[in-house]
């Protein structure tokens, strides 16, 4: 009887171990099958509207000349979330319209708007100072014509090996509070798409 009892006990323990192993390995196996074998059924990798820059690219700390005089702090792309727009100077009508849209986007964030800074980086002639002072007093507008800005800052952007084309592309970028370039939006991207992505980032983030 004792031998039969021990055998039954060992058999029960083996089944228990097999059951516990199945709890771990079966879901793992199914997830591998889902990811590698059933690609036609796999959902999109993300829900963001813009182009995710992966891995995020750290931007260098540089003091850039401001259109309104003086220079930026070397950390001006840190501490808050940044909506960054690249454009050739002196910022034509399309550029001004986009800058105004981005200002409206920040305002639409309500109480979260203080967590977002607007930045215009331009090359060539400076934007009209009166326009900046009267309509965009909170905007940081700085030139990237400095050699260090071209060789270090712009080089960190996708396509930065061609600064002229990069500046003319009219893209909007999101930079996180650690100074990392993480999202890009092509010219003409609907404002609501950028707004939705930014709202989600602010909701999920504990920084900035």
Tell me phi and psi for residue 88, to 5 degrees: -75, 145
Nearest by Cα to 180 from 71, 81, 58, 30: 58
Asked if residue 61 belongs to a domain, the reply is: yes
- Determine the 3-state secondary structure of 131 from DSSP: helix
Task: For residue 136, tell me if it sits in a domain.
Answer: yes
Q: Are 85 and 172 in contact (CB under 8 A)?
A: yes
Q: Are residues 35 and 78 in the same domain?
A: no
154 in the same domain as 77: yes
CA distance 146 to 60: 14
Neighbour-count burial for 93-117, b at 16+ CB within 10 Å, e otherwise? eebbebbeebbebbeebeeebebbb
Confidence of residue 207 (pLDDT cuts 50, 70, 90): confident
Highest mean pLDDT among 43-47, 142-146, 203-207: 142-146
User: What's the pTM?
Assistant: 0.77
Note whether residue 179 is domain-resident: yes
Beta strands in 22-164 (DSSP E): 51-58, 81-88, 116-123, 140-143
- pLDDT for 26-69, tens place per residue? 554 444 443 334 333 333 445 567 999 999 999 999 999 999 99
Would you say residue 46 lies in a domain? no
In a domain, 32, yes or no: yes
Number of domains in the chain: 2
Indicate if 180 and 88 belong to the same structural domain. Answer: yes
Give the Cα separation of 15 and 204 in Å (integer): 43
Q: What is the dihedral of CA 181, 107, 204, 82, to 10 degrees?
A: 20
Same domain for 186 and 83:
yes
pLDDT category of residue 105 using cuts at 50, 70 and 90: very high
Residue at 171 is within a domain: yes
pLDDT at position 26: 52
Q: Where are the beta strands (DSSP E) in the chain?
A: 51-58, 81-88, 116-123, 140-143, 172-175, 180-185
What's the pLDDT at 14? 74
- How far apart CA 31 and CA 62 sit, in angstroms, is 45
Query: What spatial distance separates the first Cα and last Cα of the chain, rounded to whole Å?
Result: 70
- Are residues 110 and 15 part of one domain? no
Domain limits for position 13? 2-41
Pair 197, 173: CB distance under 8 Å: no
């Amino acid at each position: 009887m004792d031998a039969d009892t021990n055998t039954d006990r060992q058999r029960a323990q083996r089944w228990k171990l097999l059951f516990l192993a199945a709890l771990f390995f079966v879901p793992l196996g199914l997830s591998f099958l889902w990811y590698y074998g059933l690609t036609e059924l796999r959902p999109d990798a993300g829900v963001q509207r813009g182009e995710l820059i992966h891995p995020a690219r750290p931007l260098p700390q540089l003091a850039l000349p401001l259109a309104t005089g003086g220079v930026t702090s070397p950390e001006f792309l840190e501490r808050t979330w940044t909506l960054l727009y690249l454009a050739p100077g002196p910022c034509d009508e399309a550029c001004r319209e986009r800058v105004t849209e981005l200002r409206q986007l920040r305002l639409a964030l309500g109480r979260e708007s203080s967590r977002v800074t607007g930045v215009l980086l331009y090359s060539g002639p400076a934007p009209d100072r009166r326009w900046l002072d009267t309509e965009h007093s909170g905007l940081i507008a700085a030139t990237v014509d400095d050699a260090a800005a071209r060789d270090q800052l712009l080089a960190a952007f996708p396509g930065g090996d061609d600064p002229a084309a990069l500046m003319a592309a009219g893209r909007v970028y999101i930079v996180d509070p650690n100074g990392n370039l993480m999202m890009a939006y092509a010219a003409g991207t609907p404002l609501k798409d950028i707004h939705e992505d930014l709202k989600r980032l602010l909701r999920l983030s504990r920084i900035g």
